[in-house]
Structure 1
Amino acid sequence: MMKQIKILFLLSLLFSLLAGCEKSKAEEGQKDDAGAERSRPFVVGYLFSSSDNLNAAFASLDLRHITHLNIAFLNPGADGLYKPVNRLATIVKQAQDQKVKILFSIGGGVPPPYLKDLLKPEKRSTLINELVKFAVDNNFDGIDVDIENEFIDENYEPFVLALSAQLKALNKMITSALNTWTGKAVSDKALAVYDIINIMSYDQTGPWNKERSGPHSTFEAAQADLDYWINTRKVPAAKVTLGLPFYGYGFGPAIAESFSYGDIVKQWPGTELQDQVEVPGQGTIYYNGLLTIRKKVELARSRKAGGVMIWQLLGDAPGDKSLLKAINEVLSD
């Protein structure tokens, strides 16, 4: 009998040890690709501001509702070098003190023309060294590569791979902002090194295409974008965020070309539950209201995406009309 009890005890102990190992493996699975603990989905927010207004713009943010903050855009000068940015290291520390990872973005939808030249082989090393130095000097958690459209050429992959190697050696992140219509230009090798891939699921049309008036960020486009990057390109879903617009575009004979979401709902009360506003005699504004934003966040969850991305945080509205608040309500359900 005692022999049987000892055997049962040993089996119980062995089972506990195995369960502990499985728990450790599960906990490891909750870490992101940069090694940080994942306690909640990614909520990546871009802050679009000039260097001169950065301090005031940052002070207006409520960082409790985001996990990552990307400062857009901090591009080097034409010589590939950076000039000091007032209080930048302080801003970085304040974000990190609130458990928010903070990166700076390079490139942009309208990047400085000289950036394309800096990516070429003869200038690439200088550019990368300066980018990494700027990240280290200001204690950023990483760099976001928002190189788009015709700037994604034969120099894109070698630049991304070389920048990634230096950042990973310093335990810093490298992320990207990508759109689907230029997806074929981005190699699998480049995709593989990114810690987060922010999918710009917006700007399907806009002021540059006045003949094609209508919504610029539909739910159907969000579905197609996630399908492309996760299923066609085989990017791990946990690395993908679905981009959400906090702005709208106007089409018509006498209407402004762009509006922040906050301005739309302030000027036309009640429109937070809509996706468009008809302005008599002027035109139509197309945007994403609360219901569509919620639906898109639910879509990202159902596809097991890493989370969502916001362009851009300053476009939100306060109180119960806040899109950021709605995003967090869905993610916390």
Structure 2
Amino acid sequence: MKRFLILSIAIVTVLASCKKEVIKVPDGYGAKVFVKPTTPYVPDMGFKQVAYFPSYRFIKDIDTTSLDDLTHVIFSFLKPRADGSLVLDDTKDKVKDVVSLVKRHNCKIIIALNGDDKIYTTLLANPQTRELLISNIVKYMLENQFDGVDLDWEYPSATKGSDVTFGLFMQSLSVELHSWHRTLSMAVTAGLYAGGVKEGINKMAIDACDFVNLMAYDGIGTDPARPKDHSSYKMADDVLNVWLNEKNLPKEKAVLGLPAYGKTDANVSMSFKDLLVKGADPKGSEFMIGTTMYYYNGIPTIELKTKLAKTRANGVMFWELGQDAGGANSLIKVSKAAFLAKVP
């Protein structure tokens, strides 16, 4: 009898250890229970068509048909507090409504984090608070049914030593996200200026990511031929040169950032949508309002940059959905058509 009892306990113990890892979520959230997959994580190697959707936008303010031309929408921004807890920027629509909308269009939806540099630096420097932050990020992602996480810390710096702690953080976050079959991406500087910020993204962080969004805009003065243009074609090519050749970012992880807005040489912005309302040519690249010139990426530039990304990278990213025009002038739609077009 004693031998039988011991055997029974052993069998129960073995069966219990074979159960899938389960996270239970308290009431008041979306889903209640999540079961960790037991199959290996398989990264998506397809061409990415990405757009950020800031929480300060209303759903009604975007052309939702453009979601059909995207693979990923990145909802932004979630911020860490000093204690490692998280807070979402004020939202115009409920998070669950945005998530539901995006998924109805067969897109992946990702939650983006940005926030205070000092808070990140402090949290990531300590292994305990670093793991606490990872735990809170994963919990928030699962509770709200996001398909991944995007990091937009601007910026870790090699001169502060936060390049190392950021790399460690991204490695640990990647392991946890991939165990749930979720993606990890990051938005990074254009990398055109030498210094601590350029070197703040190291190999550990790059290896941890499924893809990397290269912010190839806001670069006034980076193109001698167009010194007042904040996002010229040459700048895009130079950004890819830096990240692919100097920073050794694999081509399959490179996603080229495109602006759905124009800028003056005084760094004043206006959305592409509003520029067209003011009378700008959707196929142009410059538009004068009063005595002020705005420089923007019109349809031909977006087509050329998409072809560049198709050749040298593995995706495009737009900042941001609410700034794009609707209908035939949508830069997102133009980019998708350029990607699908056969090269002569």
Q: What TM-score comes out, normalization by structure 1 length?
A: 0.77
Q: Counterpart in 2 of 1:123? A: 129
- The aligned length equals 285
> Contact 1:297 / 1:327 at 8 angstroms: preserved in 2?
yes
CA contact (8 A) 2:114 2:151 kept: yes
CA distance in 2, matches of 1:234, 1:151: 18
Residue 222 of structure 1 is matched in structure 2 by 236
Are 2:186 and 1:176 aligned?
yes
Cα drift, residue 112 of structure 1: 6.9
Quick check: 1:275 aligned with 2:285?
yes
Residue of 139, 144, 148 corresponding to 1:138? 144
Q: Hey, which bits of structure 1, 4+ residues long, moved more than 6 A?
A: none
Structure 1 unaligned spans of 5+ = 1-32, 207-211
Q: Are 1:55 and 1:87, in contact at CA under 8 Å, matched by a contact in 2?
A: no
**CA–CA separation in structure 2 for the residues paired with 1:42 and 1:246:** 17
Measured at CA, do residues 54 and 277 of structure 1 come closer, stay the same or move farther in structure 2, by a change above 3 Å? Answer: closer
Higher helix share: 1
Q: Displacement of 1:260 after TM fit? A: 0.4
Q: How does 1:243-254 map to 2 (within 5 A)?
A: 243-251=257-265
2:205 maps to which residue? 190
Cα distance in structure 1, aligned partners of 2:65 and 2:54: 12
Structure 1 position 68 matched with structure 2 position 82: no
Distance (Å, rounded) in 2 between the aligned partners of 1:205 and 1:174: 30
Helix, strand or coil: the match of 2:78? coil
Aligned to 2:177: 167
User: Which sits farther off after the overlay, 71-80 or 84-93?
Assistant: 84-93
Deviations 1:252-292 (A, max 9, x none): 6xxx82100111111024x2222111234x32111111111
What CA deviation, in whole Å up to 9, does each residue of 1:162-201 have, x standing for no partner? 2112111111110011123233221112101100111111
Give the conservation status (yes or no) of the 8 Å contact 1:297–1:308. Answer: yes
Q: Is the 8 A contact 1:119 1:159 kept in 2?
A: yes
Match of 2:301 in 1: 292
Amino acid at match of 2:315: G
Q: How does 1:25-174 map to 2 (within 5 A)?
A: 35=42, 41-50=47-56, 53=57, 56=60, 60=64, 62-82=66-86, 87-107=94-114, 111=116, 114-121=119-126, 122-150=128-156, 153=162, 154-174=164-184
Aligned equivalents of 1:57 and 1:82: distance in 2?
27
On the 8 A contact 1:76/1:82 being kept in 2, the answer is: yes
Once the two structures are TM-superposed, the CA of residue 150 in structure 1 deviates from its matched residue by: 5.0
Measure, in 1, the Cα distance between the counterparts of 2:288 and 2:320: 24
CA contact (8 A) 1:248 1:261 kept: yes
Residues 234 and 37 of structure 1: CA distance in aligned 2, closer, same or farther (over 3 Å): closer
Distance 1:72 1:299, change over 3 A: same
Could you tell me which residue of structure 2 aligns to residue 266 of structure 1?
277
Paired amino acid for 2:78: L
- What is the identity, as a one-letter code, of the residue corresponding to 2:132? T
Contact map agreement 2:282 2:299 (CA 8 A) in 1: yes
Gaps of 5+ in 2: 1-39, 192-196
**Alpha-carbon separation, structure 1, partners of 2:124 and 2:71:** 30
The 1-side partners of 2:61 and 2:131 are apart by 32
Alpha-carbon distance between aligned partners in 2 of 1:166 and 1:323, rounded to the nearest angstrom: 35
Work out whether residues 230 and 237 of structure 1, in 8 Å CA contact, stay in contact via their aligned partners in 2. yes
Between stretches 94-103 and 306-315, larger displacement belongs to: 94-103
One-letter amino acid matched to 1:120:
A
Q: Distance in 1 between matches of 2:326 and 2:154?
A: 31
- The Cα shift of 1:57 comes to 5.4
Question: Structure 1 residue 316 and structure 2 residue 324: aligned?
Answer: yes
Distance 1:58 1:117 in 2: 37
Cα offset, 1:107, TM superposition: 1.1
- 1:204, distance to aligned residue in structure 2 (A): 1.1
Change (3 A) 1:100 1:322: same
Normalising by structure 2, we get a TM-score of 0.75
CA distance in 1, matches of 2:62, 2:301: 27
